[in-house]
């Protein structure tokens, strides 16, 4: 079988690229290893920019209402008790309605694959790519291989990307070994708009984000010091330990320690992915396969959709004979996210030093303009360079 483009991975990035290229008349096959969607370690809290990107893919207001629950803010809570709210540009007025959202990935991901099919892409679920040989993909089992030749191969297969490993560009994560644990719990109360919460604790943090369908997504990130306990106690007991330490809040829908779990606990380790480059002769990496840095500020879903949009342009031009189009995609991604990555690394440096993070948190809590700018940067609503500007740094750190 020969196609224009073979996309390995049917998550949001891969599906968005398939939609874009199929609408341009390209012959596209999407190879998703799962037979059907199942719960996996993935992000659900995201900025208004993700909603805008989904709308550009053709999702209607009704579609978005079914997969996205508006959230007024992300409330960050430190170990010392400092709290501040990041509103991501939504000031609560009728003129600015740009709320962050919690996404129902069980509805969003299949919807995007359905739209890719409707656009003309060949979506194959249950198709496992065993290895990549140049622009030839080998699928199936040892007993019965299937080969697909493509003019361009796309790696959209996440932080343990087979495509990135096949081309020798996968590297160790920049922030060291961390573990992510995610699951969802039932929210039996009425569907109301309330803050998501990000709660810091010793060498880790836990995010609580309401999503559609009467559920709350729980995502836990554990640093290196938790490794021995995790091996000894296992994921279940470790999660119980973390949730028991979550301080109660007036808007909590449930007692986190006794909440009914809707999914098995899924993990990701190491939580991060770095690549030496995002392109080569006849191949590109998009989404988390192109690099995933930080769930605290990373905005992985928005970055995935941006990478798919930029890759759509680059691959289309490459197929038309533009020899520099794939390299231009790599440069565009670097230019788009260089300053945001620098901010993410700076935030992680502060997280690694609780005294420093508390110092910054108290100033964010008391300085409205500085706090609003940080929310805009974290939500990718303004360039990350805004948070690196000496004037912003001075306003944050001054006594």
What SS3 class is residue 358? helix
Looking at the structure, give the CATH architecture of the domain made up of residues 179-268: 2-Layer Sandwich (3.30)
The answer to whether residue 175 scores a pLDDT higher than 80 is no
Give the integer Cα–Cα distance in Å for 324 and 331. 11
H and E: helices and strands count for the chain: 12, 20
C-alpha distances (whole Å) from 377 to each of 122, 177, 299, 361, 369 are 37, 25, 10, 16, 12
Give the integer Cα–Cα distance in Å for 177 and 227. 9
**Which runs of E-coded beta strand occur in 126-163?**
129-133, 136-140, 145-155
Please count the residues of the chain: 399
C-alpha distances (whole Å) from 2 to each of 5, 130, 149, 153 are 9, 18, 5, 11
- Please tell me the predicted confidence (pLDDT) of residue 146: 86
Structure tokens at 294: 């930080």
Q: Tell which wins on pLDDT, 97 or 274.
A: 274
Confidence band for 327, pLDDT divided at 50, 70 and 90: very high
Q: What percent of the chain has pLDDT over 70?
A: 95
Q: What is the mean pLDDT of residues 97-117?
A: 90
The answer to whether residue 281 scores a pLDDT higher than 70 is yes
The answer to whether residue 252 scores a pLDDT higher than 70 is yes
Worst-scoring range by mean pLDDT, 23-27, 52-56, 139-143, 237-241? 139-143
Give the integer Cα–Cα distance in Å for 398 and 380. 25
pLDDT, one tens digit per residue, over 340-358 is: 989 988 888 888 889 999 9
What is the homologous superfamily of the domain 2-70+99-174+271-343 according to CATH?
FAD/NAD(P)-binding domain (3.50.50.60)
Sheet holding 68-71, edge to edge: 45-46, 100-103, 68-71
* pLDDT mean across residues, the chain: 90
Q: Tell which wins on pLDDT, 224 or 293.
A: 224
Give the integer Cα–Cα distance in Å for 158 and 156. 6
Contact 14, 121 (CB under 8 A): no
Contact 221, 178 (CB under 8 A): yes
Contact 222, 200 (CB under 8 A): no
pLDDT, one tens digit per residue, over 361-395 is: 999 999 999 999 999 998 888 899 999 999 999 99
The answer to whether residue 54 scores a pLDDT higher than 90 is yes
Beta bridge partners of 211: 215
With a CB cutoff of 8 Å and minimum separation 6, the contacts of 60 are none
The candidate with the shortest Cα–Cα distance to 194, out of 250, 241, 146, 232, is 250
The DSSP result for 274-339, as a single string, is: EES-SEETTEEE-GGGG-B--TTT--HHHHHHHHHHHHHHHHHHHHTT-TTHHHHHHHHHHHHHHH
Confidence band for 284, pLDDT divided at 50, 70 and 90: very high
The candidate with the shortest Cα–Cα distance to 286, out of 73, 90, 13, 23, is 13
Residue 335 neighbours by CB distance under 10 Å: 9
Q: Tell which wins on pLDDT, 45 or 26.
A: 26
Structure tokens at 247: 């301080």
């Amino acid at each position: 079988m020969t196609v224009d483009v073979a996309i390995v991975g049917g998550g949001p990035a891969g599906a968005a690229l398939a939609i874009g290229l199929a609408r341009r008349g390209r012959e596209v096959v999407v190879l998703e290893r799962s037979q059907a969607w199942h719960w996996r370690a993935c992000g659900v809290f995201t900025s208004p920019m993700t909603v805008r990107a989904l709308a550009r893919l053709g999702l209607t207001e009704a579609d978005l209402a079914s997969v996205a629950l508006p959230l007024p803010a992300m409330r960050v809570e430190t170990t010392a008790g400092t709290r501040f709210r990041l509103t991501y540009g939504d000031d609560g007025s009728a003129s600015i309605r740009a709320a962050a959202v919690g996404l129902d990935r069980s509805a969003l991901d299949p919807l995007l694959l359905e739209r890719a099919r409707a656009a003309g892409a060949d979506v194959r679920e249950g198709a496992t790519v065993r290895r990549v040989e140049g622009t030839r993909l080998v699928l199936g089992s040892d007993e019965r291989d299937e080969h697909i030749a493509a003019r361009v191969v796309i790696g959209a297969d996440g932080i343990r990307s087979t495509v990135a490993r096949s081309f020798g560009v996968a590297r160790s994560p920049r922030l060291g070994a961390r573990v992510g644990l995610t699951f969802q719990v039932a929210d039996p109360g009425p569907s109301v708009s309330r803050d998501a919460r990000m709660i810091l604790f010793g060498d880790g943090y836990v995010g609580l984000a309401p999503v559609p369908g009467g559920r709350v997504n729980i995502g836990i990130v554990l640093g290196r010091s938790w490794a021995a306990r995790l091996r000894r106690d296992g994921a279940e007991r470790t999660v119980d330990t973390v949730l028991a330490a979550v301080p109660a809040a007036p808007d909590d829908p449930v007692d986190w320690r006794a909440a009914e779990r809707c999914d098995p606990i899924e993990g990701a380790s190491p939580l991060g992915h770095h690549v030496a480059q995002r392109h080569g002769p006849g191949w590109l990496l998009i989404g988390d396969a192109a690099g995933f840095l930080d769930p605290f500020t990373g905005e992985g879903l928005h970055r995935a959709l941006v990478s798919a949009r930029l890759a759509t342009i680059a691959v289309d031009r490459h197929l038309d004979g533009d020899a520099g189009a794939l390299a231009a995609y790599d440069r565009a991604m670097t230019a788009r996210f260089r300053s945001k990555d620098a901010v993410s690394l700076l935030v992680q440096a502060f997280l690694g030093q609780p005294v420093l993070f508390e110092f910054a948190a108290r100033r964010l809590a008391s300085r409205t303009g500085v706090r609003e700018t940080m929310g805009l940067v974290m939500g990718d609503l303004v360039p990350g360079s805004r948070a690196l500007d000496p004037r912003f740094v001075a306003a944050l750190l001054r006594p």
